[in-house]
Structure 1
Amino acid sequence: MKKTLLLIITCTFIFVNTISAQYAMSQGTKKLATTMTLIERMYVDTVDDEKLAEDAIVAILKELDPHSSYLSAETVADMNEPLEGNFDGIGISFNMISDTLYVIETIADGPSERVGLLPGDRIIAVNDTAIAGVNMNTRDIMKRLKGPKGTKVNIKVLRRGVQKPISFQIVRAKIPIYSLDAAYMIDDKTGYIRLSRFGATTVAEFKEALIKLSAQGLQNLILDLEGNGGGYLNAATELADEFLDKDKLIVYMEGTHQARTSDSTTDRGLFEKGKLVILVDEGSASASEIVSGAVQDWDRGLIVGRRTFGKGLVQRQFPLPDGSMIRLTVARYYTPTGRSIQKPYTHGDQDSYNKDLIDRYNRGEMMNADSIHFPDSLKYKTLVNERTVYGGGGIMPDYFVPIDTAEYTEYSGRINAMGIIYRLSLQTVDSNRKELLKKYPTIEKFKKEYEVSDELLSKMVKMATDDKIEYKEDQYLRSKEQFKRRIKALMARDLFNTEGYFKIINDESEIFKKGLEIINSDTEYNKLLQ
């Protein structure tokens, strides 16, 4: 028995030493490999070695920076879809309200539209499995609706005005996922483009939108990156290339084990002249910060809004045999002036890092630029006009816009949190879609002429009361105009598209309004840029 035990231990160490010789393992890595091998071969009980290894990987990565992470095979598949630009499915956008799937929009010429599915329809069953009223989560519903191109899925739908459920058989197809939420002319010479992510199709979508707006007279551009958490690095560098002329450094990356690499511009930019304003906020991160940083460092345009998130770490994805993945930080990225945008963090302390935005709010940073402090060691000069900019904590805008709390109340916050405005707008459109479209056939006519009635607001108050939200008249009156704008914007999205939503909701955005004011004033624009 002793000989057998000695043989096992000897073989274990031979195995570990062989691997360590091949990959130059450190003593710590050898220790971990030895431990796992001993557990697998000698532990008293049967163990799930895959789960044990997974738990160990997660624990190790937590001790590094906040962005190194382990992703399960299922998470990897879900993560890649929004960036790759397409997936196989039935071609709808939907929302879950009160445990029911409501169709918000059918993709133009997609499989659902071709069989007659309509916005407002409620899908209650997929392949004879009930999905309404059974507390099924969104991921499980998506699994049932998605599937390989060319396969069929049967669904049952409830439609307003039709007594019995309607059955549809839909042939799944390749469904595009767009990065561009809106692209329209604000006035005769100023265009607006909003991007929600940086994916495989982002730059192509941007170019198409820019060409369309240029044909309508575009001279100035507002690029909205608020809430854009990033995506593919190459999409960011290619977008920055659209604004900067040839041979301008966009970004460079460097790490302890990664030599410096960089990206520079070509001569193919479509908008290298004309005034440019980029809108950002605390939700703008990573790729959004690369574009904003390059534009700011080269004095090509102005950044308007609030300090961005501050993610300046570059992750490389390492696939594992079972389809899972390790996303490991391998470098930092730097803007053309040499700024690292990464905000401070403590190794192993992800809680504090994740609470950073709350801490900013509590320190007053969201309301007052004077509450934001950068040390002199993080001060840099832009490359053309030598303006002062800062690194080490996101992109600080050229013009700071405080968060607007004038119309916010506890009452409005609870109504928004409970999704009451969304439910109300959806029900209103669902009940009156034909009449509304007949009276307001275009988003422009709807925006100009439609008014949210007091009767509709009273219905909102009743819905809130039914959901145990106490009515507070002073707070209702303070938030009344906000309620009206948001109801109208959501109705526009359900009646038309996402662009319709932004055409209305931007009217309440202080960042948008200030960006428009600056870009339309040569004096203010040039003063801030110089």
Structure 2
Amino acid sequence: MDDFNFEFENKKKKKIKKEPLFILICIICFVVGGIGGYFIHGTKETNTNLEGTVFDQIGEIVDNDFVDTADSQYSMNERLLMGMVAGLQDPYSAYMNQQQSLDLETSINGSFQGIGVTYTAVEEKGALLLNVYQNTPAAKAGLLAGDIITHIEGTSIADYTSEKIKNAIQGENGSNVFLKILRDGKSKEISVKRGSVETSVASELRTTVSQKIGYLSITTFGEGTSIMIEDALKTFQKENVKNLVIDLRDNGGGYLQAAQDILDLFIKKDEILFRTQSKQGKEEVYKATDREKYNFENGYILVNHDSASASEVVTSALQEVLGYKVIGETTYGKGVVQTQKTLSDGSILKYTHAKWLTSKGEWINEIGIKPDYEIDTTTIHDFGLAKMEKTYHYDEVDSNIKYMQEILKELGYDVDRQDGYFSKKTENALKTFENAYQLKDDGQYDKNDSLILLSALAYHVYQKLDDKCYQKVIELMK
């Protein structure tokens, strides 16, 4: 259903205010005259020997005459096909070769060989871990969200692409990968034993204010997700759990069938789960079956701006039909459904083929689902980080200085301004930070300061801040 890539690098989560930590843009354009113009060799000519459609004619010209100078991992034909689908200007449609299709399927199902993390590649720094999944090799080795991997097998990955980082981490099942990380500005070496990883569902029985809470974290909607969720629900039921929390934050979606199967675990027979509407306007209504149901006195759903697609299908139905309380931020707003077809060479065309509507017939595309309780939380995406081109000093002005000031302020340092002007108070705040982290306390903002500052921020955000959304659940239960 969804254009969702999650296994090692979470590409969707780059909506970082100001400058993104990492941007991977693949643009394929057919340009007539561009910013730099174009060269014409000789005179224009009309070839009257070409037959077929304009598509065929362009293909023949490119095949016969075009000199390919691109240094690309994809063949020219693959790039042409990617460009053709990109011309639809639909962010959810794509041409994928066989390997890309397999990678997408693996990421949606959340089951693979590896260590069990998602990360973002940070230019000049390494891989910032956004999540370390429960019961995975990474978790068992002691990795934490907020850690920055700086070296793999003794080699710096400061300038590695996301794909190169993934290839360096992956390896033979049962073998070890040696990582050097930064945690709160301090260096640490960790060995992780590679193995089978399941990341789509994590469950936990929690107790607070004398009540039991069944906590479910769902990161993707894959083929086996509903089975794992039902296993957890059975455990909660045996423990007489009255309160259920479903955490869908940062869940970008997955298969529509998986969302339907999950909703069918909760909603009684013949109630409408959601609807779809085809290109021709034909509406299809999806209803709950008579299978066994799991009921809870109180239900809560945690969402954020990156909860999308299948996450929104589940959230809307549980909110509209069962009255579950939605807590967090307005969701992404993806109200369309994709399907895919296998082409003659084994490659895949994934394309938008329908709209989906909530059980009440609402289309949330580019609108999202508004939470019952809106919670403003601090995340790593609220902070900017641009490439460090130089060392910055007192009395200079730059966006990097502004980002530094904002991070220092978040970490509790005494900063008088956050506008990018390197004031004396900014210099003193930086010196205090440098001294606290055993850096050269000269008050000059350099690349190493930037790396340690990011490490301190990541640790602060992922390990020290309270989960405000979950705290709201506790408050509502009192």
* TM-score category (smaller protein): 0.5 to 0.7
1: distance between equivalents of 2:135 and 2:275?
40
Report what 1:428 is aligned to: none
Within 5 Å, give how 1:209-228 maps onto structure 2.
209-228=232-251
Aligned pairs, how many?
A: 371
AA of the residue aligned to 1:271: Y
- Within-5 A mapping of 1:304-343: 304-320=327-343, 324-343=347-366
Q: Classify 1:298/1:232 alpha carbon distance in 2 versus 1 (closer, same or farther; 3 Å).
A: same
User: Of 121, 124, 132, which residue of structure 1 is paired with 2:156?
Assistant: 132
Please tell me whether the aligned partners of residues 250 and 294 of structure 1 are also in contact (alpha carbons under 8 angstroms). Answer: yes
Larger Rg: 1
The code of the aligned residue for 1:235 comes to A
1:101 CA displacement: 7.6
- Give me the whole-angstrom Cα distance separating, in 2, the residues matched to 1:102 and 1:512: 24
Conservation of the 8 A alpha-carbon contact between 2:133 and 2:139: yes
CA gap of 1:102–1:515, structure 2 versus 1, over 3 A, is closer
Q: Contact conserved, 2:247 with 2:301, CA < 8 A, in 1?
A: yes
Q: Which secondary structure state, in structure 2, belongs to the residue aligned with residue 517 of structure 1?
A: helix
Q: Where do 1:29-40 residues align within 5 Å? A: 30-40=53-63
Pairwise CA distance, 1:219: 0.6
> 1:284 aligned to 303, 307, 319, which one?
307
> Hey, what's the Cα distance between the residues in 2 that align with 1:485 and 1:61?
35
Residue 505 of structure 1: which of 445, 463, 466 is its match?
466
Structure 2 partner of 1:67: 92
Cα deviation for residue 100 of structure 1 reads: 6.6
Q: Is the 8 A contact 1:277 1:519 kept in 2?
A: no
Distance change in 2, residues 1:83/1:94 (3 Å): closer
Instruction: Check 1:32–1:167 CA distance in 2 against 1; reply closer, same or farther (3 A cut).
Output: same
1:269-280 alignment, distance < 5 Å: 269-280=292-303
The answer on whether the counterparts of 1:105 and 1:118 sit within 8 Å (CA) in structure 2 is no
Partner of 1:505: helix, strand, or coil? coil
Query: Aligned-pair distance for 1:169?
Result: 11
- The one-letter code sitting in structure 1 at the alignment partner of 2:357 is Y
TM-score (ref. length: structure 1): 0.55
| CA distance in structure 2 between the aligned counterparts of 1:106 and 1:299, rounded to whole angstroms | 29
Matches within 5 A, 1:301-380: 301-320=324-343, 324-343=347-366
Determine whether 1:141 maps to 2:156: no
- Amino acid paired to 1:135: D
Query: In the alignment, which of 502, 517, 521 is matched to residue 475 of structure 2?
Result: 517
Q: 2:112 aligns with which of 82, 87, 110?
A: 87
Point out the more displaced range, 234-243 or 297-306. 297-306
Q: Distance in 1 between matches of 2:249 and 2:237?
A: 23
**Deviations, residues 369-392 of structure 1 (Å, cap 9, x unaligned):** xxxxxxxxxxxxxxxxxxxxxxxx
Which SS does the other structure have where 2:156 is aligned? coil
CA separation of 1:404/1:136 partners in 2, compared to 1, >3 Å: closer, same or farther?
A: closer
Q: In the aligned structure 2, how far is the partner of 1:322 from the partner of 1:147?
A: 29
Which deviations, in whole Å up to 9, do the C-alpha atoms of 1:209-263 show, x marking residues without a partner? 3333344441122222223221121221122222211121211212125854443
2:60 alignment partner AA: T
- Which structure has greater helix proportion? 1
The code of the aligned residue for 2:93 comes to: S
- AA of the residue aligned to 1:61: A
Gaps of 5+ in 2: 1-46, 183-188, 385-400, 412-431, 450-455
Aligned-residue identity in percent: 20
| Alignment check: 8 A CA contact 2:78 2:97 kept | no
Aligned-pair RMSD on alpha carbons? Answer: 5.0
Report if the CA contact (8 A) 1:131-1:141 is conserved: no
SS in 1 for 2:270: coil
Structure 2 Cα separation of the partners of residues 158 and 183 of structure 1? 33
Contact conserved, 1:308 with 1:395, CA < 8 A, in 2? Answer: yes
Instruction: Name the structure 2 match of 1:490.
Output: 463
TM-score when normalising by structure 2? 0.60
1:83 shift after superposition: 1.7
- 1:51 partnered with 2:76: yes
Amino acid at match of 2:376: I
Query: Hey, what does 1:246 align to over in structure 2?
Result: 269
Aligned-pair distance for 1:159? 11
Query: What is the distance in 1 between the residues matched to 2:139 and 2:216?
Result: 28
Relative to 1, partners in 2 of residues 1:412 and 1:240: Cα closer, same or farther, differing over 3 Å?
Answer: farther
Q: 1:180 aligns to what?
A: 202
Q: Distance in 2 between matches of 1:288 and 1:154?
A: 35
Sort the Cα spacing of 1:414 and 1:208 in 2 relative to 1 into closer, same or farther, 3 A: farther
Q: Which residue of 1 aligns with 2:369?
A: 395
Give per-residue Cα distances to partners, 1:109-154, cap 9 Å, x unaligned: 86997xxx7759989665xxx63367333422322443576xx757
1:298 counterpart SS class: helix
Cα distance change of structure 1 residues 302 and 146 upon mapping to structure 2, 3 Å threshold: same
Aligned mates of 1:136, 1:38 — CA distance in 2: 37
Partner secondary structure for residue 340 of structure 2? strand
Per the alignment, residue 319 of structure 2 pairs with 296
| Cα distance change on mapping 1:62 and 1:223 into 2, 3 Å | same
Decide which moves more: 228-237 or 31-40. Answer: 31-40
Counterparts in 2 of 1:456-495, with a 5 A limit? 459=436, 467-468=445-446, 487=460, 490=463
Question: Does the C-alpha gap of structure 1 residues 289 and 35 become closer, same or farther in structure 2, counting only changes over 3 Å?
Answer: same
1:206 aligns with 2:233: no
Shift in Å, 1:88: 2.7
The aligned amino acid for 1:85 is G
1:163-192, CA deviations, whole angstroms, 9 ceiling, x for partnerless residues? xxx99997x653323333765334414433
- Distance in 1 between residues matched to 2:286 and 2:474, nearest whole Å: 31
Distance in 2 (CA, whole Å) between partners of 1:109 and 1:404 is 27
> Structure 1 residue 287: deviation in Å?
0.8
CA spacing shift, 1:159–1:60, aligned 2, 3 Å: closer
Measured at CA, do residues 200 and 219 of structure 1 come closer, stay the same or move farther in structure 2, by a change above 3 Å?
same
**1:244–1:269: 8 Å Cα contact kept in structure 2?**
no
Tell me the distance in 2 between the aligned counterparts of 1:518 and 1:299: 17
Q: Note the C-alpha offset of 1:333.
A: 0.6
Contact 1:68 1:327 in 2 (8 A): yes
Give the aligned partner of residue 348 of structure 1: none
CA distance in 1 between partners of 2:358 and 2:240 (Å): 32
Q: Which amino acid aligns with 2:207?
A: M
